[in-house]
Amino acid sequence: MKIAIVFGTRPEAIKMAPIVKECERRHLDHVVIVTAQHREMLDQKLEVFGIEPHYDLDIMQENQDLFYVTSSVINEIKPVLLKEKPDVILVQGDTTTTLAASLAAFYLKIPVGHVEAGLRTWNKANPYPEEINRQITSRLTDIHFAPTQGAKDNLLKEGFAPESVYVTGNTVIDALLMIVDPHYTFNESPLSTVDFVNRRVLLLTSHRRENFGEPMVQIFSACRYLVENNPDVELIYPVHPNPNVQKTAKEILAGVPRVHLIEPMEYRPFVQLMNRSYLILTDSGGVQEEAPTLGKPVLVLRKTTERPEAIEAGTATLVGTDKQMIIKHAQHLLSDKLAYHEMATKANPYGDGKAAQRIVDILLEKVR
Ligand code: UD1
Ligand code: UDP
């Protein structure tokens, strides 16, 4: 069996890395194809996991749009798949790389395995375009690797055959456990100068397309207010390189005392930063899934979520993008130690670190 593993963005690289490593460990015939929908942020992750792709489609352009990414992936991946003739292609999650690579595989009648299958909001506009990327990818998929029972139930409700859907846990927990290092120390400013003992660090990540414009203005204004009104609080925000995010972040947060706008971080220091933060404010999917393992409460800066497990488990709260609501929830967790402790001590519903092993076991059984 030859497995093609395809990914293109930061979160896909992190979540596919444990599967690549598992294929290496078991000496399975596999080929890693990166679209490079992301460039620097992808390369950072390839390096930390020691992955050298067999093919790099190198498609990223400055401020690219969805038409460009979709068409480039389909056109550039075709000759690679024709040459390699894999028995199965693995895609992950909900990006345009995921959708376009699945479609290309379907056109070439190559079976598709979808990692992190079955997440849904059933709202076309939230997250945009990821909800529709996921739904279409499911239609193109032959083997669905659902991270949770809830994700499996979503797929069964949509009529997928039960024997094609497996609950595996999320590979992000495998990746996190491979990388987490409680002894890691920050060597570079500004993180090396932050007093994590006497100050409380709010970690912000925000990049979602549906939050561009006014929602991001509200998010960043709330963060600014929280820092200005809590003298022991520092805000650290590794700003996503998307120009739409950079511009608004700089307008509202640059130059504010105790606010650090920094470059997107490598995975090992980022995990350590999560570990040393007091509270995480994020619209990221992966960060929501990782934070409970590190015992960090999360405020989710989105109107809807396809990750209800964290909310139900009590490790995350869906606060939306309204400035006052964000301030209210964050201030509550800054002031009420009991409420904070409650959120910080719940178990992670997303997995046990063995998802990649399960996925490879299933592939070996199903694809021959
Ligand atoms: C993409 C995914 C989103 C995922 C996010 C993770 C789609 C439609 N969106 O959004 O689901 O949550 O990645 O971060 O697939 N850029 C760089 N360097 C990089 C990466 C991005 O400069 O390493 C800049 C470029 O100007 C690029 C722009 O960001 O054109 C947008 O990148 P793109 O992948 O299209 O969208 P994201 O917002 O990153
Ligand atoms: N991450 C990172 N460096 C950063 C910010 C995030 O390594 O500066 C990691 C984070 O730990 C998580 C993943 O990137 O595993 C999430 O990616 P992102 O938020 O870009 O995408 P999403 O998960 O929302 O699709």
Catalytic residue among 116, 131, 290, 306: 116
207 is an active site residue: yes
Each residue of 77-97: pLDDT tens digit?
A: 999 999 999 999 999 999 999
For the chain, what is the mean pLDDT?
Answer: 97
116 is an active site residue: yes
What ligand is nearest to the CA atom of residue 133? 1
In the predicted model, what is the mean pLDDT of residues 238-256?
Answer: 97
Phi then psi dihedrals of residue 37, to 5 deg: -55, -35
Q: Between the CA of residue 364 and those of 3, 23, 28, 165, what are the distances in Å?
A: 10, 11, 10, 15
Distance of alpha carbon 296 from alpha carbon 344, whole angstroms: 5
Q: How many other CB atoms are there within 10 angstroms of residue 319's CB atom? A: 21
Q: Sort strands 200-205 and 165-167 into parallel, antiparallel or unpaired.
A: unpaired
Q: Sort strands 233-238 and 143-146 into parallel, antiparallel or unpaired.
A: unpaired
In the predicted model, what is the mean pLDDT of residues 125-136?
Answer: 96
* Token digits of residue 293: 């393992």
Each residue of 232-241: pLDDT tens digit?
A: 999 999 999 9
Percent over 90 (pLDDT), the chain = 99
Each residue of 24-67: pLDDT tens digit?
A: 999 999 999 999 999 999 999 999 999 999 999 999 999 999 99
130 is an active site residue: yes
27 is an active site residue: no
Q: Please name the residue ranges forming H helices in 168-297.
A: 171-179, 214-228, 243-253, 267-276, 285-290
Residue whose Cα lies nearest atom 36 of ligand 1: it is 242
Distance of alpha carbon 125 from alpha carbon 72, whole angstroms: 24
What ligand is nearest to the CA atom of residue 301? 2
Q: What's residue 368's pLDDT?
A: 72
Burial class (CB in 10 A: 0-12, 13-18, 19+), 29: exposed
Confidence bin at 358 (pLDDT 50/70/90): very high
List pocket residues of ligand 2, CB cut-off 6 Å. 10-11, 14, 172, 205, 207, 238, 264-265, 267, 270, 284-287, 290
List pocket residues of ligand 1, CB cut-off 6 Å. 9-11, 37-41, 60-64, 66, 69, 94-96, 129-130, 207, 241-243
